[in-house]
Amino acid sequence: MTRGFGVCLAFSVLLALSASPCESRRHGHTEKQHALSCRPDNEGSWSIGVYRGEGFTSLLPVEEAKPRLDGRAAWPVANPVVSCASVVGAPSNFVADPFLFANNDTIYIFHETKNGITGQGDIGVAASHDEGITWQHLGIALDEPWHLSYPFIFSWQDQVYMLPEASGSGGLRLYRAEDFPLVWKLDRLLLDKPLIDASLLEDHGTWWLFGSDHTRPGAHKNGELELYYSASPQGPWQPHPANPIANTARRRSARMGGRPLHYEGGIYRFAQDCTGTYGQGLEMMQITTLNQTHYQEEPRDLGFDPAPRRSVPFTS
């Protein structure tokens, strides 16, 4: 189980975070699904909120971002925008690991939903047609015999791809949208290695892949991070000579917590702070050296408080 987040820079900065506790709002379900959704779960109850702003330092939760409320927007608008009660297509105990993806005039949140019947993570998707203010759940995009989460989504050469956490399958699997956003096909096995929370970054024509392998001998759970590079997101992927680029009992800034990005001339990646409880916080690292022989990063202030009035755990 992991928590991720997505950042979309299409019109400003839009950030989706998952947080606990889940506020139960029920709509759009059959009675049967109601009975099976939002049940207590020993992994916690997580939900997804959206933050808006012109940049990282001005991000505000959607209810404080003074959204333009026209005929398309419901009232009131407040976080969480997607919860276990929103999910269509399968009962959900919680939703987490949101990744934003803008496509034409629609913004999508792909996310983990923990299926209340199978106890496994599936990938769900919600859509917004009003720049991230109101969201409608569309259904389950991907369900496999193993746990899925952290649906890292990106477009490349006119196709949309998804790289979910699928370590239960033993490998890292890349999916391609056959009928976006709900039908996906396996494109290929990217790595024969159970890499978790795999996240891609393109920089000057080189693709970089970050992810953690808890099965690596000597790996600290939630404290290990590996880096790979390739000329294409389809691989083949070369391990970076500095691997593992992190392996520490400190667990503060290793495991990926969302989409790495270019922002105001710098490259940043986000990490899950697991120093206390799982999902305690989110760290931002600026990548200061990135090439095929060297890697360096420095912690930076996130510039906003992802959980302003909350004292509960959150991630991403």
Residue ranges that bind ligand NAG, judged by CB under 6 A: 103-104, 180, 289, 291-294
Backbone dihedral angles phi then psi of residue 169, each to the nearest 5 degrees: -85, -10
Question: Closest CB to ligand NAG among 233 and 279?
Answer: 233
Q: Which residues pair with 112 in a beta bridge?
A: 96, 123
Nearest distance in Å: CB 292, ligand NAG: 5
Structure tokens at 298: 């420095």
Question: Closest CB to ligand NAG among 242 and 261?
Answer: 242
DSSP 180-228: TTTEEEEEEEEESS--EEEEEEEETTEEEEEEE-TTSTTPPTTTEEEEE
| Nearest Cα to Cα of residue 62 among 147, 165, 133 | 133
Question: Closest CB to ligand NAG among 19 and 162?
Answer: 162
Q: How many CB atoms lie within 10 A of CB 68?
A: 10
Question: Closest CB to ligand NAG among 180 and 210?
Answer: 180
Tell me the three state secondary structure of residue 63: helix
Nearest distance in Å: CB 180, ligand NAG: 5
Question: Closest CB to ligand NAG among 24 and 291?
Answer: 291
* Count helices and strands in the chain by DSSP H and E runs: 1, 22
Buried b (16+ CB within 10 A) or exposed e, 159-187: ebbbbbbbbbbeebbbbbbeebbeebeeb
* DSSP-based helix, strand, coil % in the chain, nearest 5: 5, 45, 50
Are 144 and 167 within 8 A, CB to CB? no
Nearest distance in Å: CB 103, ligand NAG: 5
Nearest distance in Å: CB 130, ligand NAG: 18
Nearest distance in Å: CB 294, ligand NAG: 4
CA terminus-to-terminus distance, the chain: 13
Nearest distance in Å: CB 104, ligand NAG: 4
Question: Closest CB to ligand NAG among 136 and 215?
Answer: 136
Nearest distance in Å: CB 139, ligand NAG: 16
Nearest distance in Å: CB 282, ligand NAG: 28
CA angle 163/164/165 to nearest 5° reads: 125
Question: Closest CB to ligand NAG among 94 and 99?
Answer: 99
Residue whose pair of structure tokens reads 């759009």 in the numeric block:
28
Question: Closest CB to ligand NAG among 118 and 292?
Answer: 292
Nearest distance in Å: CB 235, ligand NAG: 20
| Closest residue to ligand NAG using C-beta atoms | 291
Structure tokens at 294: 């060297």
Give the DSSP H or E segment for 36: helix 31-36
